[in-house]
Structure 1
């Protein structure tokens, strides 16, 4: 079933390109404009450099507040787009002419559900990450790459099992993390295969991003690739929710 889910999730995007553009394009442009306007675009990434907040002058305080505001706006836009995509797939709720509908309550619920997933996974991530780092660094680049892949596999597997709370929050039918875990209990092998393939896809996209993000055009293409990967991941979670919770056929 894992391959069917991957193909179905791909078709969600490929067969609805006009809706994908209407849901994502204007918000994506808004984020890019904000990031470029901040003059904090780093080489190969779109996020500002970390700041030392222990010794802030008036100028650095202002820069910090601007950066914080940009991050908050960016988060809101991402929530807006992701919730809109979930609702389009599960409820058939189409976007407006140029952007998705705004659902404030569902956006907040989605953020809180994402936060709960993060808090649930943070300790296992730190433990497994420390093991990966200690073994990988001492073993050379090849071992480090393999261990990093295993870490990605671990994150995808656990994250996918508890991620059904996200589409549930997006459509206004709250679900507990324990309920998501129970709903995916009988699909461990399917989810493991999904995690394996997603880890491979993520690694390939990561290599492509590093290879092309050396100028402004490359940075834009890198952001597009990352955005498509994110939308594809959301589609997979939504498909799982539809199959396991709503009992839909693929």
Structure 2
């Protein structure tokens, strides 16, 4: 009986591993296809580059550049959101328990975190289309270039936060 149990569990582990590998491979292909289309779309809109056929040309260099800049932008947006979450949660514990505690202020905290995250993402997000059209743009440069749009971007961030 023990031998049958072991064999069944080994088979389950192999199936689980295969499922994991297929899921990771599918995720990588999904991400690569999306980056390919996003880069092609940005090039079409910003550089008037139309695809030569049914599919746009694949550029490994542009795709990797876009991927890494998206990763940097994501980390630069999520890290402050986590810090703000921890700060707001700790501040809520300091408030008197007159009904305004973490559970009671979770909606307000979520709105504040969403507002800040969207706003930050909008301000630094120019690095992504820049990567698609082979332009080097840093987070700081993106922040400076979007400074005149700060109010409009804050309004857009507020709109998205309440959705």
Contact 2:42 2:132 in 1 (8 A): yes
Q: Which has the larger radius of gyration?
A: 2
- Aligned equivalent of 1:160, options 98, 122, 130: 122
CA distance in 1, matches of 2:58, 2:161: 32
Deviations 1:215-240 (A, max 9, x none): xxxxxxxxxxxxxxxxxxxxxxxxxx
Give the number of aligned pairs: 143
What RMSD, in angstroms, separates the aligned Cα atoms of the two structures?
2.3
CA distance in 2, matches of 1:172, 1:198: 30
Gaps of 5+ in 1: 1-55, 204-250
Closer, same or farther: CA 95–130 of 1 in aligned 2, 3 Å? farther
Report the secondary structure of 2:160's partner residue. Answer: helix
Residue 181 (1) aligns with residue 146 (2): no
Report the secondary structure of 2:26's partner residue. Answer: helix
Closer, same or farther: CA 74–137 of 1 in aligned 2, 3 Å? farther
Q: How do residues 59-138 of structure 1 correspond to structure 2 at under 5 angstroms?
A: 59-131=15-87, 138=103
- Aligned equivalent of 1:169, options 131, 142, 161: 131
Closer, same or farther: CA 132–77 of 1 in aligned 2, 3 Å? farther
Q: CA deviation at 1:132?
A: 5.7
Contact 2:119 2:153 in 1 (8 A): yes
Contact 2:127 2:138 in 1 (8 A): yes
- Aligned equivalent of 1:195, options 140, 151, 157: 157
Contact 2:78 2:117 in 1 (8 A): no
Length-normalised TM-score, structure 1:
0.51
Length-normalised TM-score, structure 2:
0.75
CA distance in 1, matches of 2:109, 2:52: 44
Gaps of 5+ in 2: 1-11, 93-100
Q: CA deviation at 1:133?
A: 6.2
Deviations 1:62-99 (A, max 9, x none): 11111110110011011011111111110112235543
Q: Identify the structure with bigger relative contact order (alpha carbons < 8 Å, sequence gap 6+).
A: 1
Contact 1:132 1:148 in 2 (8 A): no
Q: CA deviation at 1:194?
A: 2.2
Contact 1:132 1:151 in 2 (8 A): no
Contact 2:85 2:109 in 1 (8 A): no
CA distance in 1, matches of 2:53, 2:108: 45
Q: How do residues 17-96 of structure 1 correspond to structure 2 at under 5 angstroms?
A: 57-96=13-52
